[in-house]
Copies of this chain bind each other. A is one copy, B any other.
Amino acid sequence: MDFPSPPRQQSAIHPPAHERVDESSLDYSHEPHQNLARFIVHAATPLNAEPQLPLLVEKYITPTNVFFKRNHGPIPDIHAEEHTVFIGVKQNPQYYHEASPPVEWRSLTMTDIMTKWPKATVTASIQCAGNRRDGLAKVKEVKGVIWGAGTISTAVWSGPRLCDILRDVAGIPTDLFHEMVRDFHVAFEADDHVHEDACYGSSIPLKKAMDPLGDVILAVEMNGRPLTREHGYPIRVIVPGYIGARSVKFLQNIVVQPQESSSFFQRRDYKVLPPWVNSTNVEDSWDSAASLGEMNIQSVICTPQDNEVITSSKPITAKGYAIAGGGRAIYRVELSIDGGRTWEPVDKIKQVPDKKSGMFWSWALWEKYVPRLDSNSELVVRAYDASGNVQPEEPIWNFRGVMNNAWSRCKNVIQMPQHNL
């Protein structure tokens, strides 16, 4: 194999070592102030909170203070002027089988990152792989935060393209057919502390990072402002079309390497485990399942909600979201009001492709006029992506409770005029 050498401008640089800490030693005394009035808070330490579903469909771009909050440890308090991003390349094939091959490191200040490369702006939805885990928890015990359907949000992200930085700093070829680009991975590590590992970490295929149509950026802005602390300040990865776990926040280290990340969050989490795996045998099962990347086809009813009482007998408008992985467009969204026996297309779908690449990284918001609901009505939504993929009717249970994209249902909505209450 003919691998390029990274440009040799720097040497003897090493990122600071991370040390694994006990859960009891994690310091939550410096958490940023959060207004969580309209959130469902699953945990305060680490902060895990999802917005109430009707908030999600109010605007196509989710306001920053409505965006879901997913953390694995204390939210770091990083000073951007002191922050360094380290880029390492483990590229010599002779070291492939060593546990810790030598790495050549380069370092970038935040000023470097914000001034040396063109700023790209990508609008992308981020969805946690555990979105709708509650639907799988109803089938059987699962491991993880029991999220509803609110761990998805859409923002405008800005920062340099990762492919530009890897080309210039690490000498990674821009030829998408290069063996290294085809076969290697790029791993990310956060400047944080979590109890599962020394820090949060994850990786994506190098091909996704180098593909101009992949739109992977190192975001320093969210919705036109610097990132807020809970969303990754001062810098995070945005991997459009992938599960949220790959969009690593508080980014510190980037390593190009022949294998995927060895992080807990890449190897022992975020996998669809086979149906016979449960809490008794899960530890033996991780290696046999592949890590997740792209999202699957998904749609959810955000309003009305289960058991909602609507104080009017007028027709209502059902609303929700739909999204597919990998930048694929939503092809069709259908709503049923009789529990899935008959279906009609929704009246309106808004999905905006990326201005530059034309990829569909953002959700579709849909609406449908519903003349009247009674106690027997059951709303169900299902979506098709542009590749003809559809959602399964029933949830497919897996122990980690990920990738639930069963038909979304809404029952027991009571509609009556106020004077009848």
Contacts and interface: CB of A to CB of B under 8 A. Distances in A.
Interface of A: 175-177, 182-183, 207, 211-213, 272, 274-276, 289-290, 292-297, 325-326, 328, 331-332, 334, 342-345, 356-358, 384-394, 396, 402-403, 405
Nearest to A288: B345
A282 to B, nearest CB: 16
Nearest to A384: B272
Contacts of A296: 387-390
Number of copies: 2
B213 A293 contact: no
Given A213-B207, A332-B272, A388 B295 contact: yes
A387 B294 contact: yes
A387 B272 contact: no
Nearest to A292: B388
A177 B121 CA distance: 13
Given A177-B212, A387-B295, A387-B326, A394 B393 contact: yes
A236 to B, nearest CB: 22
Contacts of A388: 272, 292, 294-296, 325, 402-403, 405
A175 B358 CA distance: 13
20 contacts: A177-B356, A207-B358, A211-B213, A272-B332, A272-B384, A274-B334, A274-B345, A275-B334, A276-B344, A294-B387, A295-B388, A296-B387, A296-B388, A325-B388, A325-B389, A326-B326, A385-B389, A388-B403, A389-B389, A392-B393
Given A274-B332, A358-B207, A386 B293 contact: yes
A6 to B, nearest CB: 22
A405 B388 CA distance: 9
Contacts of A326: 326, 328, 387
Contact of A386 (B275, B290, B356, B389): B290
A309 to B, nearest CB: 32
A356 B390 CA distance: 30
A279 B213 CA distance: 40
Given A274-B345, A296-B387, A357 B176 contact: yes
Contacts of A332: 272, 274, 289
A182 B357 contact: yes
A393 B396 contact: no
Nearest to A274: B345
A237 to B, nearest CB: 19
A163 to B, nearest CB: 11
A334 B312 CA distance: 48
Among A293, A388, A390, max chain B CB count under 10 A is at A388
Most chain B beta-carbon contacts within 10 A, residue among A342, A358, A389, A391: A389
B387 A325 contact: yes
A292 B342 CA distance: 23
B177 A272 contact: no
A36 to B, nearest CB: 30
A207 B353 CA distance: 14
A328 B326 CA distance: 10
Nearest to A345: B274
Nearest to A392: B390
Contacts of A391: 392
A294 B387 CA distance: 5
A183 B356 CA distance: 10
A275 B343 contact: yes
Contacts of A396: 390
Contacts of A175: 212
Contacts of A292: 388
Contacts of A293: 386-387
Contacts of A384: 272
A343 B259 CA distance: 30
Contacts of A275: 334, 342-343
Contacts of A211: 213
A239 B392 CA distance: 28
A279 B184 CA distance: 51
